[in-house]
Amino acid sequence: MAGRFRRWFVVGIVVLALLVCTPTQIESARWWYSPRVAAVLMLTPDQSRRIQHIYDSHRRARYTAVARCEKARADAEHAMAVGLPDEDLERALSAYAEAEAERRRVRTLMLYRMWRVLSVQQRARLEMFGKQNR
């Protein structure tokens, strides 16, 4: 049972990430409001509202994580460009890796919470939709 859940979890995250990351293939970056996606998934207005709430509730954490990641990347690039000692570069690279991991964690948590709003049938439709729109 746990293996089956894990498989669906991974598939859901990948498909949701695909949908969120390719807005040119979808009418809206907020895919839950796209008439096409809503029709394919048979989303209810309540589900769209709940997904929007999840998106909004993670907004500050996402922006903070992205800003921290961009700053850490710039700091690491600067450390390499000016030829700082290895210890300083290592600290800058570690800070960048930590910031990137936090950005991914925040995003994955948001996508997982969105995925939980969907029924099993909707998750299957989402998987098929993602495969068709790659």
Q: How far is CA 108 from CA 30, 45, 62, 78, in A?
A: 16, 23, 10, 29
Q: How far is CA 39 from CA 21, 96, 123, 134, in A?
A: 20, 40, 13, 18
Residue 60 lies in a domain: yes
C-beta atoms surrounding 39 within 10 Å: 9
Residue 101 lies in a domain: yes
Q: How many domains does the chain have?
A: 1
Q: Rounded to two decimals, what is the model's pTM?
A: 0.71
Residue 85 lies in a domain: yes
Structural domain boundaries enclosing 106: 2-44+56-132
Residue 51 lies in a domain: no
- Give the pLDDT confidence of 57-107 residue by residue, as tens digits: 999 999 999 999 999 999 999 999 999 999 999 999 999 999 999 999 999
To the nearest whole number, what is the mean pLDDT of the chain? Answer: 85
d(CA 126, CA 24): 17
